[in-house]
Every structure is written in C-alpha cells, then in structure tokens.
Structure 1
C-alpha cells in the first residue's frame, strides 16, 4: 500500500512512462567493422525499421550516417566492408532470395525489390550500385571485388562504369571467396554436392589449382599472413543426416594446411570421437582465423560447449581460449 501511494503521488513533471512505442523505436546497431588502413569504424543502424550505414573516425569518433534510407521497408543491409584504403564502404542491400530467386518484399510494392552490392564514399554522397546480387570479397590491394555466380567467378573494379571480368568457370557452384594478403590470388570453394574442393586461381585467370582434393567436404579457406599456405576444414561426407535433428556426434572433422605452390596438404588437427566430433560453426564470414604467432583459431564443441580454440599451424594440441559454461556465437 505504501508503494502504491508513493507511485500515485509522483509530481506532475515526472518522467513519462516507458511504453511499447519506446521499445519499438529504440535504435539497434549491428555489423561493426573496422578499416585496416585508417582510424575508422562502421556499422549498420536500425532506427524505427529504417536501416542505414553509419561511420565514425578518430580521434573524435563521432558517428554520422552515410546513407539516407528513410522508410521502414524491411530491406536488410548486410556484409558491410571497407575497401583496401578505408576510403569507401561496400554493403549489400536486400534480403537473401528464396529457391525461386525472389528477394523479400515485405511491403508488396508494385516494383520488384532487388538485392545488390553498393559502394559509398566515407566522405558522403550517393551510394552507387556495383553489381546485382549479394556475396562479395573486397580485394586487399586495390579498389576491386570478387564475386561468384553459380559456377563462375568474377572480378570487377569499383570505378563507375567498370565491367566484370570472369576469371574462372568451374564444376559445381563457387563460394567462400578469400583473397591472398597481397591480392595476387583468390581462394574459393567448389561445392559439388556430396563433396567440395578448395581451389586457388589468379585474378588474371588461368589454371585453377585444387588443394589436396578428396571425397570429403572441404571449406572455410584461410590464408597464412605470408600468403604461402591455406588452412581449411575437412568434414567427411555422411549420406544419412536427419534435418532438424540435433547432431551430437559424427565422423570427426579435421583441419588441414596446404602449401599453395604444390597443392600438398597435411592434417594438423582432428576432433575427438564422440562429443564435439560433428562440426558446428559460428556466425562469421569464415570459420578459421589465421592469427599472430602462426596459430589458427576455430570453433569446437570439445567440452560440450561451443568455444574458440587455437592450434599451431604446424600441428599440436588445441588450446581453449574461451572457457566457461556458455557458447560462442
């Protein structure tokens, strides 16, 4: 009763109650990225359903919007990435297509919505469409990007009016594009249904070299800092995998490191049988990270929780990096 009396006796100038509209209108930030060659960060801001690209630069780090999409139209912004010099930002606008190739159109507009890759200067100005579709890999050495469409891989410069150049046509479908640190080569995954290869091709085209091909599913290529080796995941193919059923165990996955010059690879680590033998990934563009000290970071459910581990690129025991009763996402 005392609490109720105090509540009802609040002064007229007290703060307005917090209602559902306040909750729904609260801005939400996601997709934080940092430029590798400038003191800049960027992120995606969702305010009242309108999604836009924001940026902040040092030393003040004051945020400002680079795009002006004003409507709550349900069109996602994703895959935010800086160009090699930190002077422009690339992003995908539009949701992922369904099996018929149709992209989301929550407002049921009379004009068909599109999914496309856009570029915008960090100094502002109107965003410019680069290519239709989503999924791209910005080059680390020049204003260009690579992208895959079905069985074909393309490279396109970011200057206005540039035309794409096809650098490879492969069997299966291409994906998981990853540039070498110097931009001289491009790694990719050739998905062929019940198996997949990791391949390497030069931006100028030419022969595709596949690294240690097998009947397993290879993926998540990660370059060494010197560009001489590639680490990748190898997951054995299993014919009977029940959809929507939890997978606690499987044929153990492994990590292999290949010499790019020769294509030869060796296993540097393999999951234990039983708990953690089935690979479970994290929400990231790649599942392997080649870091300092020539160590490779990867997710593993070795103790029943999904954690990050690291191993030497030369092989050895996995070191738990995120201990605790929680999961890394």
Structure 2
C-alpha cells in the first residue's frame, strides 16, 4: 500500500506551447501539489508547497498563454457524485474548509487567494479569471489586484464558462431545472445574448477560432 501511495499520479496537465512551458497537478502520499517544467530541459519543479494530506483537491488548473501565471481551484469534490461545489472537510477542522480560486506565478512565490468560488476560467490574455460563486458568474483580476465582482444576476445556476478567443465575451450555461440556456455576456451595459432559447437543455459552449 505504501508503494502505491508513493507513486506520483500526474493530473490536470496544461501547457503554453508558445512559451515552452507545462504544468500539472501531482498527487503523492496523499499530498497534492502543482509542478511545472519549461523548455529546453523540461526539468520538473514543484511550484506549490502543500504539506498536509487534508483531502483538498487541486482542479481547474490553467496556464496563461505567455506561461507566466497559473490559476487553480483548491477544495471541493470534483471526482464523484458529491456536490462538486460543496467544501469537503475530512480533517474535521472546526472552521471547515472553503472552495477557492488561487493564483501563482510560474516563477514561484506564495499562492494568492482570489476569492471563494469554483469552475474558474482564465481569460485568453491571462489577466482575468471568471468563476462561479453561489450559482452566478464572477470576475476577478488574475493578480488579485482588486476584489471579485459579480458579472450577471440571472435565474438558474450558471456553469460551463467559456471565454471567446479575443477575450471580449464570456459564454455560460444557465441551468433552470427543466431547461438550460446558453448565454453570452459582453459588458455590464450590454444585454445578455441568449442563443436560440428554448425548452431544451443546451450545454458545453465552445467558440470557433475566429
């Protein structure tokens, strides 16, 4: 069993091809940390220093196009039929655990908590992070220079955030129980565009390169 726990399982592999950089989550001995490597040697380097097996998962890893910044979600249960947005607390800490969006530079340093939430989506320019909190989409600078702000107040639970290639629009799905709608947010003073709204269940929006 110890040999099995000691095997490093690589997860959430992401890359910035133009920058020659890759990142991934490694789970070993119950510890979950982010590792990185860059061209030309691609020597593995541990980026985060989580040192306790507290059951907190690292998911939603994303690397900016220029390879300078990573964002990830810490906490929650994303691998079973448990409510993925619900905090898990296997260590029974009195204060509980939170699901949060974190940011860290590729060069290293201390991870920065951007805010509580889940389902993070890094903008194409790496400057902004859209995420879901309390079933609604929020936005925060990737460097944590200001507090998160709510983008939309709409019926249903929002998910499946997807930035347009130019970063000017954000697609999302609003699940309203009996049906789900695909919406596009562009600006605070611009109405949401609902794509072919119906009584069906739309989901998983994807943008074409253009």
TM-score scaled by length of structure 1: 0.59
1:182-230: CA deviation from partner (whole Å, max 9, x where unpaired) = 001111111111111111111445200111111110111111111xxxx
Instruction: Confirm or deny that 1:201 pairs with 2:181.
Output: no
**Alpha-carbon separation, structure 1, partners of 2:186 and 2:5:** 48
Q: Is the 8 A contact 2:120 2:131 kept in 1?
A: yes
Question: SS in structure 2 opposite 1:61?
Answer: coil
Q: Residues 198, 112 of structure 1: CA spacing in aligned structure 2 closer, same or farther, 3 A cutoff?
A: same
1:28-67: CA deviation from partner (whole Å, max 9, x where unpaired) = 1111111254111111111111110000001000001000
Name the structure 2 match of 1:57.
38
Q: Is the 8 A contact 1:154 1:164 kept in 2?
A: yes
Instruction: Confirm or deny that 1:135 pairs with 2:130.
Output: no
**Alpha-carbon separation, structure 2, partners of 1:182 and 1:36:** 18
User: Which runs of 4 or more aligned residues in structure 1 lie more than 6 Å from their structure 2 counterparts after TM superposition?
Assistant: none
1:124-156: CA deviation from partner (whole Å, max 9, x where unpaired) = 111110111211111002411112334532221
Question: SS in structure 2 opposite 1:168?
Answer: coil
Q: Is the 8 A contact 1:179 1:185 kept in 2?
A: yes
Name the structure 2 match of 1:187.
171
Q: Is the 8 A contact 1:84 1:138 kept in 2?
A: no
TM-score scaled by length of structure 2: 0.90
* Structure 1 residue 24, shift from structure 2 partner: 2.4
Higher relative contact order (CA 8 A, sep 6+): 2
Q: Residues 76, 135 of structure 1: CA spacing in aligned structure 2 closer, same or farther, 3 A cutoff?
A: same
**Alpha-carbon separation, structure 2, partners of 1:185 and 1:137:** 12
Name the structure 2 match of 1:88.
69
* Structure 1 residue 164, shift from structure 2 partner: 2.1
**Alpha-carbon separation, structure 1, partners of 2:158 and 2:27:** 32
5+ long unaligned stretches in structure 2: none
Question: SS in structure 2 opposite 1:22?
Answer: helix
Farther-moved stretch of structure 1 (23-32 vs 89-98): 89-98
Instruction: Confirm or deny that 1:79 pairs with 2:60.
Output: yes
Farther-moved stretch of structure 1 (68-77 vs 163-172): 163-172
Q: Within 5 A, what are the aligned runs for 1:37-186?
A: 37-96=18-77, 102-150=86-134, 152-186=136-170
Q: Residues 151, 25 of structure 1: CA spacing in aligned structure 2 closer, same or farther, 3 A cutoff?
A: closer
1:284-320: CA deviation from partner (whole Å, max 9, x where unpaired) = xxxxxxxxxxxxxxxxxxxxxxxxxxxxxxxxxxxxx
Q: Is the 8 A contact 2:8 2:27 kept in 1?
A: yes
Q: Residues 26, 134 of structure 1: CA spacing in aligned structure 2 closer, same or farther, 3 A cutoff?
A: same
5+ long unaligned stretches in structure 1: 1-19, 227-329
Question: SS in structure 1 opposite 2:5?
Answer: helix
Instruction: Confirm or deny that 1:30 pairs with 2:30.
Output: no
* Structure 1 residue 105, shift from structure 2 partner: 1.3
Q: Residues 148, 94 of structure 1: CA spacing in aligned structure 2 closer, same or farther, 3 A cutoff?
A: closer
